[in-house]
Structure 1
Amino acid sequence: MLGVAQKNPPDCARYCHLGIVLNPEKAFEVLDKGPETIAEGANEFRKFWGDKAQLRRFQDGSITESVVWAATSDSLWKRRLVVRSIVTHLLQHHFQLENKDFEYIAGELDISYRLTPIFRTDKMPENFKVEQDVDAEDTSLNVIRCFDDLARKLHALNDLPLEIVSIAGISPVFRYSEPVPILPQARMIGEQMYAMQVQRGVIQLGQSGKWPSELGALRALKMAFYIQIANLLREQYNLKTKVTYDGLLVLKQGYCFGIEMSHPKEVALLKKEKSERGLTQYVDCEASIALEKRHYILPKVTGALHALYQLHNSFGGTVMIAKRWLSTQFLDDGLWPEECTELLIAAQFLRAPAQKNPTSPQTGFIRFLQLLAGTDWRNELFLLNFNNAMDENAVADLEHRFSTERDIFPPLCIATSFDQNHMGNLWTSACKPNINVLARVTLLARHALDIIESALLSTKPFIKPGQIFIAPNNGYDFVIQLKPDLVSNSWAHEFGSSFTVRTRPNWRLPLADSNFLQNTMEKLRDAYSDFAAFFYNPHGGKEIALIWKPDISKERDFKVNEMNGCALSTENSGKVFVKKEILMEDLKFILKDMYLRIGTVDEVLTASRTTLPTISKKTSTTIIEHFQYKTGEKRYFTNSEVEVSEVVTKKVKKQSKDLKMNTMKNFSKNKSAKSLKVNGLATKSKNINKKGKTKKLKIKKSVISDVATSKKQ
């Protein structure tokens, strides 16, 4: 338990809080073996465990008393709750307590990286079907196995001019750090490949002195290799491929992989420049550092974090919860790089002794919040010395430089033993994250920590995950609500938004590696970062929040290439000032085909509540079924948080009822008109018969009378 004092502590005579420290080597075992049946302790074992004790025979021929808590094939998140099953059974068996008499807090926040219940896996193809309660940790293992099989196939390509020496994954899924479940849903339609996520890998070819010394020619030769590899994969393994400018896309077992080729000469050519004297020199630039990080340093860090997960399997779940929390607070990769979260949590695991590391992701996430809430970013250096690759002298020199030359390091300083040439300036920069973002993260972490700690030491039920996974909407100046059809929903569990009400989920697969929303945010920040800060949720968020910069009202010098949203000053010649109205019109023009509405937080929220989708006869049932509040989600939200969904449900039901009544009225009108028409025809026929009955009718009438007479006789 967390040692936090309470203002109003509970009555100790009625309530008791207990904290359990688990042994990671034994805590997740699904089977407890007891003594043999004829042994002395067999009766005590059966008495202690009650009806859970049973005789089992094992492969070595022994027959012992045993207790089974879960299946060996169960997911890891289920096996993490074995201790909860044990404690619950003991309290019920020995103390006759019911579930309402106690609460075991564990794994409540793990829902954040589990598959959303809205997406039904029973409709998936049989070859790629997954369980409905699968989470991102389970799907990561499936992706890694598929990538390993693809790597073996690439190594077996013998018809290439140069052999493939190494293949390494660089996406977060290979570090067990991808918070969104990855489902085998990618597909090839015509010449286009569609996928929700693309998993990146880097290959390296053997040495050769025939690579060109010009950057454009080298990249053209890499493109030729991509084309040849794609042809060989299609011919030998019948895999669907597509060559792009950045690399090669491969579709395998429903997953989309992006293959890139690394060559050290490309990094050197990016560094190459000529001095004023005409001498050739090699100087680090932004492009060379980014390429070196992606192709040479990130694969090493990925391998180190993968090994850390094998040692502490709670590391992956901790990172996933932390990433989901940061994304729901509208902190995307452009403001807070995702590698920062992974390395900060890895630093916590490496600093603490192995016995004191958390065994559950939820506990690890709480410790991560404590790190964010209590760290002095100005005086804290996070150094990850993987495999002790840095000796004591190198570590001491770095710490001395950090303390004496603090201004040359970014606000958040993270260094690893793999990036000694760019020590402290590779994973973060002066603007990612900047001082304002660090302050924002600290405040959000303290707020979430207060909610969790007060709930842990309270006698009330534990918090709903939606209480900390829904970002507050105060403090934002404008909100841009995007069209739901343009933004695909995340496969992770969604907790809703405080800016808009829920809309129908969009499961359309985008073009592979398109990143529509991310590219839009990059363009907005490049053009208007001097005037406003932009925020969005990268995991299925359908709105962009905006905050004006404090110095937006100051006059600026006139520059031809910096006139976005500016007007000439009437007081000072040669000066311009920013008009918010012009900026908003610019944003509307840029996003004219993308946004649904733009306004303040209250305006957008009110409009989204009152505006409902048009209901047609064909889609009314589907819309009602979507907006119907799921009873299974009530344990993830409080009543106040689902009020909007219930209001929407009632309104849609009322519209559907009105539509049904109108349909019935129209049907009754048509029926009455039809009956009148039929009655009119009958009357007309009767009048005709009155004028003169035909001979046929007379014969028919006489036959009927004869039959009736015979029946009477």
Structure 2
Amino acid sequence: LTLEQSGKWPDELMSFTHMKRLMVIRIHELLSPLGIPSHVTANNMLDIFLDGLVFRVSVAQPRELRLLQKTAMISSALPVLRMPGSKSKASVASSTDTPLVDTPASLAWTRLNRSMPAVCGMLAAVARSEAHVFPVACRLAKRWLSAHGFPVVLCPFEAELDGVRDLNGDVAVQSKRDGNGLVTHRHQASTNSPNPADCAYRLTEIAVELLVLYAAGFSTPVAQRSEISDGMSNWESVRVASGSPVAAFLRFLRLLATHDWEQRPLLIDLNEGFADVQKRRAALTCFETGRERLPAMVLCTPLDPSGSEWTTLGPTRAGLCVLQQLAAHSRALLRAMLVAGAKFRELKNVFRPTLRNMDLLMTLKPEIIEVHGAESIDYDAGQTGYAGGFQTTTTKPIFSGQEAEDALPTEIPPPGARFWPSSYCYDPLQWVARLVQVHLSRYFEVFWDRHGGNWIGLRRRPTVIDSEHEGAKRIFARDVLDGLVVHKPSADGSQMVVTHKLPRLVRLLPDWVSGLVERVEDLSATTSPENNQKNKVKKKRMVELQRGT
């Protein structure tokens, strides 16, 4: 909801924020007598519950963007030559002509209130015109990523933290060295976007939809417009639109696995915005001149010529390599099964995770995944519900300090009633995954399946600390170690390698999350080279005994 320009808005950021929140609260008060439940969020948005759906309304005013931008006081740092009678003119010029510099807050505001509505509107138009292919192919791509432990980052990014803002450990730790050489820590308030360290293998929701749009052939290739090409092959330049969701999903896997992301950007034409050759040249020039500063995956659109707006958060270059290998393997497996005429239950193997690379595997209890039970790969409606649909059960909330909501009324509540759905922002699986990230993300990479998965995987981070680095000393602080890691010198003694005490963590996790997890398995013990050698020796002895008998 973008408001028009008005002189009644204040010129100070804090006052503007308070006035904006008062406006949202006033809208909430006006909806209550009409019998329309609403809820004011922590970031000055309004969630409205209407006809079984929750609509999130964001209020934007152009003056807020200028207040979020920092003014570069260049004139104050340089000496000003003042002539007699020109003091007032110089001061006026320095206060009005100073450039504005974007900040993370201003970039987030632009992405939420300008970029996302524009790109979502164009993607929605494609979804309406290609309703039989594009929406289903997007769901297949997102479901495939989530099944392997890389759930997409929801857009807007604020939705990624719904229901998990009340975690006690949801803070950022900043180190500061005092005069005595000691390291002190202070906590910062959590931001409105996920931590980039937790998104090394994850794509944003809009990035996945843009990839499916390009791979399925719903955007005109740039090579067909003029001699300006983005380096695509002959197959890509003459491709036709996909006629089935499975074919579009196969093309998505091929694009992800075979495209040279380091050397070539992906020019995705939306609404023929790249019809102007100057825009295409500008996008290619931006990629060639600033490749070292751009993310691993560059998706250039007419709305974002730099191609980094929806890929800055993730994936990283190492994470993209993992995704490419996984996409190549899944595509080869799916094609082979389709050619062989495999049954539907066999095709599900493409959406089953490979857990052999995990160090710890946490199996969740059934009530944790009940909210997304119908999204599971192995969901059977005949066992969990009726023929006309599945039956839901009301369970006690698992969150600490949360009381059970009232049952759903059978009648429409009277005007002014304070009714709100009990399942609002209630996602136990997301809550448990976020809880593990808050406490263990410094030592482990966390993987989980958002759509009905009953597991959370942990893999040790390849952390190597240089003992000569000044900033590495803070990691030796007692409150950071938590008793889960030890430091051992390397072979030459020049580095300190962080070694995780997995047996101790395996013993602590069941007690820590006793009400959430059924069991915790240490997979590193079964995949280590020593255990593999022992298993080979045992098999050899068994063969010798069988031959002897």
| Fold in common (TM above 0.5) | yes
Q: Is the 8 A contact 1:249 1:256 kept in 2?
A: yes
Q: Is the 8 A contact 2:365 2:516 kept in 1?
A: yes
Corresponding position of 1:437: 319
> Cα deviations across residues 287-329 of structure 1 (Å, max 9, x unaligned)?
3222211111100111101111233221111111111111111
Corresponding position of 1:425: 308
User: Are residues 249 and 354 of structure 1, via their aligned partners in 2, closer, same or farther at CA, if it must alter by over 3 Å?
Assistant: farther
Aligned-partner Cα distance in 2 for 1:477–1:331: 16
Matched, 1:380 2:264: yes
Q: Is the 8 A contact 1:323 1:341 kept in 2?
A: yes
Identify the match of residue 346 of structure 1 among 193, 213, 230. 213
Corresponding position of 2:291: 406
Instruction: Please state how far the C-alpha of 1:286 moved relative to its aligned partner.
Output: 2.5
Identify the match of residue 358 of structure 1 among 207, 230, 242. 242
Corresponding position of 1:112: none
Identify the match of residue 580 of structure 1 among 501, 505, 508. 501
> Cα deviations across residues 625-681 of structure 1 (Å, max 9, x unaligned)?
xxxxxxxxxxxxxxxxxxxxxxxxxxxxxxxxxxxxxxxxxxxxxxxxxxxxxxxxx
User: Are residues 455 and 583 of structure 1, via their aligned partners in 2, closer, same or farther at CA, if it must alter by over 3 Å?
Assistant: closer
Identify the match of residue 473 of structure 2 among 548, 552, 558. 558
Moved more, 547-556 or 469-478: 547-556
Corresponding position of 2:92: none
Counterpart amino acid of residue 293 in structure 2? I
Matched, 1:301 2:222: no
Counterpart amino acid of residue 366 in structure 2? P
Aligned-partner Cα distance in 1 for 2:507–2:99: 47
Counterpart amino acid of residue 427 in structure 1? W
Helix, strand or coil at the partner of 1:464: helix
Identify the match of residue 240 of structure 1 among 37, 55, 62. 37
Aligned-partner Cα distance in 2 for 1:273–1:587: 49
Q: Is the 8 A contact 2:463 2:498 kept in 1?
A: no
Moved more, 385-394 or 286-295: 385-394
**TM-score, length of structure 2 as denominator length:** 0.63
Corresponding position of 1:486: 368
Aligned-partner Cα distance in 2 for 1:329–1:308: 28
Q: Is the 8 A contact 1:470 1:496 kept in 2?
A: no
Corresponding position of 1:657: none
Aligned-partner Cα distance in 2 for 1:354–1:312: 19
Corresponding position of 2:143: 324
Q: Is the 8 A contact 2:489 2:495 kept in 1?
A: no
Counterpart amino acid of residue 500 in structure 2? K
Mapping for residues 94-133 of structure 1, pairs under 5 Å: none
Aligned-partner Cα distance in 1 for 2:207–2:149: 16
Instruction: Please state how far the C-alpha of 1:526 moved relative to its aligned partner.
Output: 5.7
Moved more, 540-549 or 589-598: 589-598
Instruction: Please state how far the C-alpha of 1:357 moved relative to its aligned partner.
Output: 0.5
User: Are residues 524 and 288 of structure 1, via their aligned partners in 2, closer, same or farther at CA, if it must alter by over 3 Å?
Assistant: farther
Instruction: Please state how far the C-alpha of 1:593 moved relative to its aligned partner.
Output: 4.8
Instruction: Please state how far the C-alpha of 1:590 moved relative to its aligned partner.
Output: 6.1
Matched, 1:595 2:517: yes
Helix, strand or coil at the partner of 2:59: strand
User: Are residues 287 and 541 of structure 1, via their aligned partners in 2, closer, same or farther at CA, if it must alter by over 3 Å?
Assistant: farther
Q: Is the 8 A contact 1:456 1:462 kept in 2?
A: no
Corresponding position of 1:396: 281
Instruction: Please state how far the C-alpha of 1:343 moved relative to its aligned partner.
Output: 0.8
User: Are residues 591 and 288 of structure 1, via their aligned partners in 2, closer, same or farther at CA, if it must alter by over 3 Å?
Assistant: farther
Q: Flag structure 2 segments of 5+ consecutive residues without an equivalent.
A: 78-94, 154-198, 222-236, 385-389, 395-420, 527-549
Higher RCO (CA-CA < 8 Å; seq separation 6+): 2
User: Are residues 488 and 273 of structure 1, via their aligned partners in 2, closer, same or farther at CA, if it must alter by over 3 Å?
Assistant: farther
Aligned-partner Cα distance in 2 for 1:569–1:547: 19
Identify the match of residue 351 of structure 2 among 465, 469, 485. 469
Q: Which has the larger radius of gyration?
A: 1
Corresponding position of 1:534: 446
Q: How many residues in Structure 1 have an aligned counterpart in Structure 2?
A: 393
Aligned-partner Cα distance in 2 for 1:586–1:524: 13
Instruction: Please state how far the C-alpha of 1:530 moved relative to its aligned partner.
Output: 4.5
Aligned-partner Cα distance in 2 for 1:505–1:371: 40
**TM-score, length of structure 1 as denominator length:** 0.49
User: Are residues 519 and 486 of structure 1, via their aligned partners in 2, closer, same or farther at CA, if it must alter by over 3 Å?
Assistant: closer
Counterpart amino acid of residue 549 in structure 1? R
User: Are residues 603 and 533 of structure 1, via their aligned partners in 2, closer, same or farther at CA, if it must alter by over 3 Å?
Assistant: same
Aligned-partner Cα distance in 1 for 2:27–2:264: 46
Identify the match of residue 10 of structure 2 among 197, 201, 212. 212
Instruction: Please state how far the C-alpha of 1:515 moved relative to its aligned partner.
Output: 4.8
Q: Flag structure 1 segments of 5+ consecutive residues without an equivalent.
A: 1-202, 605-713
User: Are residues 365 and 459 of structure 1, via their aligned partners in 2, closer, same or farther at CA, if it must alter by over 3 Å?
Assistant: closer
Superposed CA RMSD: 3.6
Aligned-partner Cα distance in 1 for 2:354–2:128: 36
Aligned-partner Cα distance in 1 for 2:494–2:302: 54
Identity of aligned residues (%): 25
Aligned-partner Cα distance in 1 for 2:344–2:252: 19
Aligned-partner Cα distance in 1 for 2:489–2:336: 56
Corresponding position of 2:188: none
User: Are residues 257 and 461 of structure 1, via their aligned partners in 2, closer, same or farther at CA, if it must alter by over 3 Å?
Assistant: closer
User: Are residues 488 and 380 of structure 1, via their aligned partners in 2, closer, same or farther at CA, if it must alter by over 3 Å?
Assistant: farther
Instruction: Please state how far the C-alpha of 1:433 moved relative to its aligned partner.
Output: 0.5
Aligned-partner Cα distance in 1 for 2:29–2:112: 26
Aligned-partner Cα distance in 2 for 1:366–1:470: 17
Mapping for residues 77-88 of structure 1, pairs under 5 Å: none
Instruction: Please state how far the C-alpha of 1:257 moved relative to its aligned partner.
Output: 1.6
Q: Is the 8 A contact 1:482 1:543 kept in 2?
A: yes
Counterpart amino acid of residue 537 in structure 1? D
Instruction: Please state how far the C-alpha of 1:204 moved relative to its aligned partner.
Output: 1.7
Aligned-partner Cα distance in 1 for 2:430–2:73: 37
Mapping for residues 250-269 of structure 1, pairs under 5 Å: 250-269=48-67
Counterpart amino acid of residue 224 in structure 1? L
Corresponding position of 1:656: none
Helix, strand or coil at the partner of 1:387: coil
Aligned-partner Cα distance in 1 for 2:366–2:516: 9
Instruction: Please state how far the C-alpha of 1:253 moved relative to its aligned partner.
Output: 1.3
Q: Is the 8 A contact 2:69 2:100 kept in 1?
A: yes
Corresponding position of 2:251: 367
Aligned-partner Cα distance in 2 for 1:585–1:211: 56
Mapping for residues 186-201 of structure 1, pairs under 5 Å: none
Aligned-partner Cα distance in 2 for 1:232–1:393: 49
Instruction: Please state how far the C-alpha of 1:418 moved relative to its aligned partner.
Output: 1.6
Aligned-partner Cα distance in 1 for 2:344–2:497: 54
Instruction: Please state how far the C-alpha of 1:410 moved relative to its aligned partner.
Output: 0.8
Counterpart amino acid of residue 411 in structure 1? A
Aligned-partner Cα distance in 1 for 2:301–2:220: 13
Aligned-partner Cα distance in 1 for 2:118–2:341: 47
User: Are residues 298 and 433 of structure 1, via their aligned partners in 2, closer, same or farther at CA, if it must alter by over 3 Å?
Assistant: same
Instruction: Please state how far the C-alpha of 1:338 moved relative to its aligned partner.
Output: 1.7
